[in-house]
Amino acid sequence: MTDLDRNGPNASDLIGLIESRLNREEFQDHHWTGTFWEYLARCEQNPSVLRNAYQRLYDAVLARGSEHYKLFKRDCVRYHFFSDPFDDGKDGIFGLDFALMKLVDFLRSAAEGYGTDKRILLLHGPVGSSKSTIARLLKKGIEHYSRTPEGALYSYSWLLDDRCGVSPMEGSAHEAVKAHEYPSPMHEEPLTLVPREARRALLDRFNEGWSAEHHGGKLRVEGDPDPFSRKIYADLMQFYEGDWKKVMDHVRVRRIVLSEKDRVGIGTFQPKDEKNQDSTELTGDINYRKIAQFGSDSDPRAFNFDGELNIANRGICEFIEVLKLDVAFLYDLLGASQEHSIKPKKFAQTSIDEVILGHTNEPEYKRLQSNEMMEAFRDRTIKIDVPYNIRLDDEIKIYQKDFGPERIRNVHIAPHTLEMAAMWAVLTRLEEPKKAGLTLVQKLKLYNGKSIAGFTEDSVRELKEEAPREGMDGISPRYIQDKVSNALVSRQAIEERTINPFMVLNELEGGMGHHSLITDEETKKTYRELLSVVKDEYEDIIKAEVQRAISADEEAIMRLCTNYIENVRAYTQKERVVNKYTGKDEEPDERLMRSIEDKIDIPESRKDDFRQEIMNYIGALSLDGKKFEYNTNARLYKALELKLFEDSRDTIKLKNLVSSVVDDETQQKIDVVKQRLIRQFGYNEVSATDVLNYVASIFARGDAKGG
């Protein structure tokens, strides 16, 4: 009996299921090893393996593709890299294309070698504006890129004796032992082992046969090996009496894959208690256990080059809340950025090649600006503002990602629930428009791409330019997410298995009393007023939906349309209309025509023009061989819907819904409307009933649209 049989009849199937998703060939490719001479051949065949960290990160972003579009009359680029294709959109970013374009421009400049590669990239913005998410995507993206053939990069190990030293091979005074492998502690580029006087000629040759796909930067392998590799190199050169080729025979080149978890090329540093902070966390520390073995604390073999700046070499190092760092840490960053070097304890300046990325919020940045002692640090940073979303559709996408049907299955989220929460969030971030007659809600709609009479694309751009700080203040998406979560686990949601906009808006309002970031009473008052504005918008939306559901009887609207067109044709041609019931000729039904035209604000003085336009429109369609339908003309269709709603509303007696007694005939009609709300607008039984009851109460107050 085999082991598989002992484990049950399905064991082999399960193992096959696992193995079918593993790629052994890819694993072997990621763990390629070879001689230094084989690596030189690879460099000549594919010089892109020699790109520096900025060039590699920029290419990683561009490799995922992009799309161009217009926004506020400006050319925009949406980089698919920031939609998180690595993790099925888990960290996807919505609506920050302007900020991300500036970020990519920074990377492009650094990749070209224009000087920004000697700066610290500082993401600055309010809490919850996706700064950490951007940093996480950059780390995740370069990690994935290093796994691809296009993103391959290499480091090396030394082949030495079992004491990490250089000793003659038994029986040969001219060959050193190569029994044990010791990796470069900072994952360095193998070409740093080529002496500087020869390296330039080598790079000139490689650059001749290489042109970057996405930028014009040249290959630049700068700096010297780390102290550990310098000592081994020096000892071997002495042993072989300066024979560089024999020294290189002790080098084994290996492909590396960047990994934050394995601390290879990606580092993250988070400030801790100032009393416990130690700059050795950035630049490494002495390994006291090895001092006895190597005899000195200044022997690089007795040093752990495992600080965040050490292990992030060849990739990216993120500094969380960078401005909370102790001043001693910031001094390390000055050299790391400007000179591309760090100073480990007891050793000389050590070269690094990495992107240094920090992020901070506004209060910390203001403190930096007012601190004269930090002038050198300010001079070495490039700040990119990361604001909140100011476009409604983009804000909605954030919450749909967290609370979409694929994640929330046991509670129904009624239509417009996330939309209303997002609308309130965006309104808190907008500045009052200076243009007369324009409301804040209208401004929100203009930003979201909706057309409003009297405002052009130029108007929208002017609105944006007159409020440059829009999005840097307001409510954080995290607050919205927290309150939606509260609503989802509330007793009402559990009992009814549904949440609606009012439940979420009530949560939003109730939470403001103890919001840690809103302490100003005037701000709280403003935000509460905006909640009322959002509720008014929601009422308009659901009234329109109920109207459409009530007037969605296709046969009825078709009959109404036919009746209207017959009367308009007779009116424009100065003819009479045959009454279908009496068979007598009668004048066109002026009352019917005006009752429909009133719904779309056609004044008495314009009725003749409108009716002639309709007949001309029908005639033009006929010439093109097309048939006029009730929904062909959008303006007329809207008027017909509103008219049918008005007629049906009286028939259904929707106002009676607020009472406890509804006759069977009315109930049947209401059930039809409810099913339309469920089928056409995404409600369920509970939320459709709630909406109908609420709209009925509005009508009972006598404030229905057009009523």
pLDDT in tens, 559-579: 888 889 999 999 999 888 887
Which residue reads 């417009």 in tokens?
416
Same domain assignment for residues 403 and 523 = yes
Are 445 and 504 part of one and the same domain?
Answer: yes
Tally Cβ neighbours within 10 Å of residue 644. 23
Region 296-319 average pLDDT: 95
Residue 701 has pLDDT above 80, yes or no: no
pLDDT at position 658 is 45
| Whether residues 524 and 559 fall in one domain | no
Q: Is residue 668 part of a domain?
A: no
* 439 pLDDT above the threshold of 80: yes
Which CB contacts under 8 angstroms, 24+ apart, belong to 334-342?
Answer: 334/376, 334/377, 334/380, 336/309, 337/118, 337/119, 337/120, 337/380, 338/118, 338/380, 339/118, 340/118, 340/222, 340/223, 341/223, 342/282, 342/283, 342/307, 342/309, 342/310
Q: What pLDDT was estimated at residue 706?
A: 43
B/e letters for 594-620, b = 16+ CB within 10 Å, e = fewer, are ebbbbbeebeeeebeebbeebeeebee
**Residue 304 half-sphere exposure toward CB, CA atoms < 13 A:** 13
Coil/strand/helix, residue 123? strand
Asked whether residue 628 is domain-assigned, the answer is yes
Give CA–CA dist 335/358, Å, rounded: 15
Q: Which of 611, 639, 667 is the last residue of a domain?
A: 639
Reported as type and span, the H/E element at residue 319 is strand 316-319
Average pLDDT, the chain: 88
Please give the biggest Cα pair distance in the chain. 127
pTM over 0.95: no
**Which residue, 479, 511, 541, sits at the end of a domain?**
541
* 86 occurs within a structural domain: yes
- Looking at the structure, tell me whether residues 618 and 562 fall in a common domain: yes
3-state DSSP helix/strand/coil percent for the chain, to nearest 5?
55, 10, 35
Whether the pLDDT of residue 542 is over 60: the answer is yes
Residue 662 or residue 184, greater confidence: 184
In a domain, 33, yes or no: no
* pLDDT value of residue 442: 93
Flag the least confident range among 53-62, 275-284, 389-398, 435-444. Answer: 275-284
- Residue after which a domain boundary falls, among 477, 512, 541: 541
Task: Tell me: pLDDT of 513 over 70.
Answer: yes
**pLDDT band at residue 477 under the 50/70/90 scheme:** very high
pLDDT of residue 655: 53
Cα gap 176→167, rounded to integer Å: 5
pLDDT, residue 583, reads 72
**Quick check: 142 pLDDT over 90?**
yes
Residue 324, judged by CB atoms within 10 A of its CB (0-12, 13-18, 19+), counts as middle
Task: Please determine, for residue 449, whether its predicted confidence score (pLDDT) is greater than 90.
Answer: no
pLDDT class for 276, splitting at 50, 70, 90? low
Range 220-233 average pLDDT: 95
Enumerate residues 6+ apart whose C-beta is below 8 A from 267.
260, 308, 309, 311, 312, 315, 316, 317, 318
pLDDT at 704 over 50: no
Task: Kindly report the number of other CB atoms within 10 A of residue 517's CB atom.
Answer: 12
The two three-digit tokens of residue 562, written as one number: 């036919």
Q: How many CA atoms lie within 13 A of 309 on its CB side?
A: 28
What's the rounded mean pLDDT across residues 510-521? Answer: 81
Is the domain of 506 the same as that of 568? no
The reply to whether 523 and 459 lie within a common domain is yes
pLDDT of residue 703: 46
Same domain, yes or no: 487 and 606? no
Q: Are residues 519 and 440 in the same domain?
A: yes
Q: What is the pLDDT of residue 164?
A: 94
Q: For a pLDDT cut of 70, what percent of the chain falls above it?
A: 94
If asked whether residues 401 and 531 sit together in one domain, one would say yes
Q: Which has more confidence, 507 or 707?
A: 507
293 neighbors 302 (Cβ within 8 angstroms): yes
* Position 345 in a domain: no
The predicted-structure confidence for 654-670, as pLDDT tens digits, reads as follows 555 545 556 677 778 78
Segment 433-440 shows an average pLDDT of 86
- Domain membership of residue 24 (yes or no) is no
| Separation between Cα atoms, residue 5 and residue 511, nearest integer Å | 59
Quote the pLDDT of residue 396.
96
Has residue 306 been placed in a domain? no
In the block, tokens 């003309």 appear at 633
Which of 9-13, 286-290, 416-420, 475-479 is predicted with the least confidence, judged by mean pLDDT?
9-13
pLDDT at 707: 40
| Residues 507 and 620 occupy one common structural domain | no
Q: How many domains does the chain have?
A: 3
Residues 490 and 560 in one domain: no
Within a domain: 354: no
Rounded Cα distance, 60 and 43, in Å: 19
Does residue 309 or residue 633 have the better pLDDT? 309
Cβ(500)–Cβ(687) under 8 Å?
yes
Mean pLDDT score, 69-92: 91
Q: The domain containing residue 460 runs over which residues?
A: 392-541
Together in a domain, 555 and 580 = yes
Q: Select the more confidently predicted residue: 8 or 385.
A: 385
Question: What was the pLDDT predicted at 476?
Answer: 94
